Amino acid sequence: MKLTKELWGTSPCGKEIYLYTIENSKGAYVKLSSIGAGIVSVVVPDKDGNLADVVLGYAEPASYFGDGPCSGKIPGRYANRVALGKFTLDGVEYTLPVNNGPNHLHGGPEGFQNKVWESREHEGGVEFMYYSEDGEQGYPGAVKTVARYEWTEENELRLTLTAESDAPTVINLTNHAYFNLNGEGNGDILGHIFTLNASEYLPTDATQIPLGESAPVAGTPMDFVNGKPIGQDIKADFEPLKIGKGYDHCWVIDGAEPGQIQFCCELYAPESGRVMEMYTTQPGVQVYTGNWLSGCPAGKNGHVYEDYTGVAIECQNYPDAPNKPDYPSSELRPGEVYEQAIIFAFGVK
């Protein structure tokens, strides 16, 4: 395995930005950035052995700061939405910045995704660390977060997320990479076959806050249990799809158990033959079909991304869990370690 590090630029506040490349013996490689501990590229072969980058990204490092799509990065302190930017913990109400309609999204405008993380090569992988001060974006407690990436000879990208806090807080971490298995900039993902290990999803209100209980996917456009093209039902006369102009929902992963790796989904592009399987310890997965990508910063290799040219598959806790006692707990207390894993396994068929 070959691991290299290069200076990629500087942030608006003058911090150095580093880009890491991990390449295996077959020539497949990933590029990782210290901006939001992000995935910049995943270059893997198609059914004919041709390499291509299957992750959307930008031409300039500066474009990764404050971008609407949160491309490739790790949002936090709480990924996804918190209703009205408020939650109560141990009897104290906390107020967070509202940046998505009436709600708080991805930790706010200055969330983890818009920070330059500390980074190092460590034991064959790359580790990124971010220290979030007590009160940052309204959250209680100082939190140290570490994101560790490993790239294998089998073309698996393994991500481990850990965090510790010095006071009670809430946390929800994931990765927000957008995938197109025909190669970034090469058309839309509506023809990708998507199979999801989830027989229930979380219906939401018009602002995409879960209503509470999960609902069965059977008989609805939310059913991916047996696999179907992403675009097959995306324009269906179904209120949840009208709200977000496509899929932007959290599914409940079947068989999810805390601390146990479980199969989440499979994404397959018949044209290229590339397939990506995902496994995770997380209880849910937010699937966002890039419904609002048009107008995002200029893409890599001169590409311009339009709506539906990439899909984000975000393994995570449920949206608004801090306000939903029946959901898996998002609380992190002193002496505890938050630890979650996501595996992106690439192949062909």
Give CA–CA dist 281/162, Å, rounded: 12
Residue 156 and residue 258: Cα distance in Å, rounded? 22
State both tokens at 276.
């990506």
Alpha-carbon distance of 49 to 56, in angstroms, equals 20
Q: Which of 176, 192, 249, 303 is catalytic?
A: 176
192 is catalytic: no
d(CA 154, CA 70): 28
Which among 127, 150, 184, 314 is annotated as catalytic?
A: 314
Please give the full DSSP string across 82-105, using - where no structure is assigned: EGGGEEEETTEEEE----BTTBEE
CA–CA separation, 136 and 326 (whole Å) = 27
Q: Tell me which residue has tokens 């509470």.
A: 212
Question: Residue written as tokens 């996917």?
Answer: 217
Contacts of 222 (CB under 8 A, 6+ apart): 201, 240, 247, 249, 251
Is the peptide bond preceding residue 158 cis, with omega within 30 degrees of 0?
no
Is 314 an active-site residue? yes
Catalytically annotated residues: 176, 314
